[in-house]
Structure 1
Amino acid sequence: MRWLASLPEGPGISHRLTASEVLVVEVEQPLRAQDFDVLALTVDTWLGTHTELAGVVIHVREFPGWENIGGLIRHVRFIRDHHRNVRKIALAADSKVAALVPQLANHFVRPKCGGSPTTNSMTLSRGRPILRFADGLPSN
């Protein structure tokens, strides 16, 4: 039971919606189902009055995984329910997992995926300009 008490209690992510209509997600701890419920509420509220998000930027130093199988399932559902309403997606990561994401994402999302092994970032775009990064976050 000690391992259960050692699990993080706070959110695994923080997020903000910028004035440029980009959702910036900072991943800090293992992802939980509740994290995706909060993200879905933010995105669904936005999409209630807009047709799409200009972009999503995911910033993570090291991918922490999921807290449990429920977190993984909710993550997959979030992607399934929202990927068609996002114009651009970008991942800024300091880990080697960033190199694997484009190949995996190409199986599940509509925007085309590409990666940059030298910068540990990847972008997804549907024929539009790609987000540019400075210190892992989008610049205007």
Structure 2
Amino acid sequence: MLHYSITRPGGILRLNPSAPLRKEDFAGLSADVDAYLAENAKLHGVLVHAKGFPGWEDFEGFTAHMHFVREHHKQVERVAVVTDSPLAGMAELLGKHFISAEVRHFPFADDDKALAWLENA
């Protein structure tokens, strides 16, 4: 399951995955992000906050995730990955090659620092 919210007017998308990601998680997320972007040029930041990466429920969940990233990454300035997962370093490295946003990793307990970094974009 993916919990999310968009801070208005700041333009920060907060993502809190708590279980393996499903195709359905991205349908609602895409609709809400598209509605925000219809009125605003960009999301100033995305904050992904998870103790560990929950993975995907199935291949449909994975492809929905990749589709969401492909469709929206050019409208995002920064991504803060806030986690203690050992995969965070890889996410930061891969992000630099596949998305236009600046990506930075923060330890799970430093969500306030991550939010401050996103707000100062």
Give TM-score, length-normalised by structure 2.
0.85
Q: How many percent of aligned residue pairs carry the same amino acid?
A: 29
User: Which ranges in structure 2 are unaligned for 5 or more consecutive residues?
Assistant: none
Q: Take 1:120 and 1:133, find their aligned partners in 2: how far apart are those partners? A: 6
Q: What amino acid does structure 1 have at the position aligned with 2:21? A: L
Q: What amino acid does structure 2 have at the position aligned with 1:18? A: T
Give deviations 1:40-95, integer Å, cap 9, x for gaps. 01100001111111111011111110000000001011000000001111110121
- Number of residue equivalences: 116
Q: Take 1:98 and 1:65, find their aligned partners in 2: how far apart are those partners? A: 13
Structure 2 contact 83–108 (Cα < 8 Å) conserved:
yes
Alpha-carbon RMSD across the aligned residues, in angstroms, is 2.2
Find the structure with the greater CA-based Rg.
Answer: 1
Partner residue of 2:85? 95
1:120 Cα offset (Å): 6.3
User: Which ranges in structure 1 are unaligned for 5 or more consecutive residues?
Assistant: 1-11, 122-131
Q: Take 1:115 and 1:22, find their aligned partners in 2: how far apart are those partners? A: 16
Alignment match of 1:43 (pick from 19, 30, 33): 33
Hey, which of these two has a bigger chunk of helix by percent? 2
Give deviations 1:13-39, integer Å, cap 9, x for gaps. 101111321010101000001111111
Q: Take 2:83 and 2:104, find their aligned partners in 1: how far apart are those partners? A: 14
Asked whether 1:138 is paired with 2:119, we answer no
Q: Is the alpha carbon distance of 1:90 and 1:96 closer, same or farther for their aligned partners in structure 2, counting shifts above 3 Å?
A: same
Structure 2 contact 3–15 (Cα < 8 Å) conserved:
yes
Show the 5 A alignment for 1:19-38.
19=8, 20-38=10-28
Q: Take 1:84 and 1:57, find their aligned partners in 2: how far apart are those partners? A: 16
